[in-house]
A = this chain, B = another copy of it.
Amino acid sequence: MITLASDFGTPYPAAMKGVILQESDARLVDVAHDFPRQDVRTAAFWLREVLPYFPPAVHLVVVDPGVGTDRAAVVVRAGDHALVGPDNGVLLPAARRLASEDGDIEVFEIDLGDPASSTFHGRDVFAPAAALVHEAGIESVETREEFSSVAEWVDLTFPEPTEEDGRAVGEILVVDGFGNAITNVPGRVLDGHYGGTVGVNGESAPVEPTYAAVETGQRLVTVGSHGSVELAVNRGRGEDAFGIGVGDAVSLDLD
């Protein structure tokens, strides 16, 4: 199985699929091709949240503002999974989550020779590399000459929230398609507050386990499916109602 994710829209992902299918009968599953253009951080967040639900697979990821520069192409081995993409950090949060049982990841630089283009390595480097890893097996990265173990790579981490004296302070990591503003604050801080309220940047808001627990159009604070605190509106957009966006600080008063 090979999953595919990019910021390409259409039809560029189809060219990647064609290239893979020249070499492999792998099942192909799209994760998303509408990640915000060249936004490595948002893609990294979603991959971390979605890829762990898959059985062992090769995950092809192309969000690559540095295409054609000397940034490396890499395979990250994480447990029974392999991630293939640019060395810009986009693969790392998902890789650590996928490897969580033993915690170890290994990174290999890819060298397939000179690519046909400088502007579409998704088609000319990453897709052939993903097909090769799939066909040769994930272990093959240890021995095949196309792959070289490296000791350093570009990392990407999300900020850690702080918790102190009944206050949790974090930030909005992403806003999803429903307008839910997803924070980095762990959902457990809401334990004991369901049915009550918390302060959100100084204003009180109800805490509920599910959107429809409040009236249509009303704000709520809840735990999203990612396990972190989410600012939402029942049948509406939390980002608008809370006046908040990606990167903004969120201070939760829990007393």
Q: Which residues of A contact B (CB under 8 A)?
A: 1, 3, 5, 8-12, 14-15, 17-19, 21-22, 27-34, 37-38, 46, 49-55, 65-69, 116-120, 123-124, 176-178, 209-213, 222-225, 227, 230, 235
Beyond A22-B54, A65-B235, 20 additional contacts (C-beta under 8 Å) are A3-B14, A9-B177, A10-B177, A11-B50, A12-B50, A14-B29, A14-B31, A15-B49, A17-B54, A18-B50, A18-B55, A21-B29, A22-B53, A37-B235, A66-B212, A68-B209, A69-B212, A117-B223, A119-B222, A123-B225
Decide if A211 touches B119 in the complex (CB within 8 Å): yes
- Bound state CA distance, A21 and B59, in angstroms? 14
Known: A69-B213, A212-B65, A212-B68. A18 touches B53 (CB 8 A): yes
Decide if B19 touches A119 in the complex (CB within 8 Å): no
Q: Which B residues touch A54, using CB under 8 A?
A: 17-18, 21-22
A181 to chain B, nearest CB (A): 13
Decide if A31 touches B3 in the complex (CB within 8 Å): no
Interface centre among A15, A17, A119 (most CB of B within 10 A): A119
Q: Which B residues touch A224, using CB under 8 A?
A: 117, 119-120
A106 to chain B, nearest CB (A): 23
Q: Which B residues touch A178, using CB under 8 A?
A: 37
Q: Which B residues touch A17, using CB under 8 A?
A: 29, 54
Decide if A211 touches B50 in the complex (CB within 8 Å): no
Q: Which B residues touch A19, using CB under 8 A?
A: 53
* A–B Cβ pairs within 8 angstroms, 21 of them: A10-B34, A10-B177, A11-B46, A12-B176, A14-B30, A14-B32, A15-B50, A17-B54, A18-B29, A18-B55, A37-B235, A65-B212, A65-B235, A67-B210, A67-B212, A117-B223, A118-B209, A119-B211, A119-B224, A123-B225, A124-B225
